[in-house]
Amino acid sequence: MPKMKTKSAAKKRFKLTASGKVKGNVANKRHCLSAKPQDMKRQARGTFILFKADGEKVKQYYLPNGAK
């Protein structure tokens, strides 16, 4: 069976931390920002760690070789 390729879209959206957790970007910060509360925009600035179950699925199906 051939090796699994890393999905190109996942490479751009997710990164792996040194401990193996999956880090992603926060949603709801692209458009219609004038209608959103300042607190929501402030919390959406950085990144966040995916829940364990979601992170394991991302690593298994989308980033089998790790995101470099």
What are the per-10-residue average pLDDT scores of the chain (68 residues)? 90 94 95 96 95 95 84
H or E stretch at 23: strand 22-25
Catalogue all structural domains in the chain, each as residue range(s) with its CATH number: 13-62 (4.10.410.60)
Q: What is the reported pTM?
A: 0.81
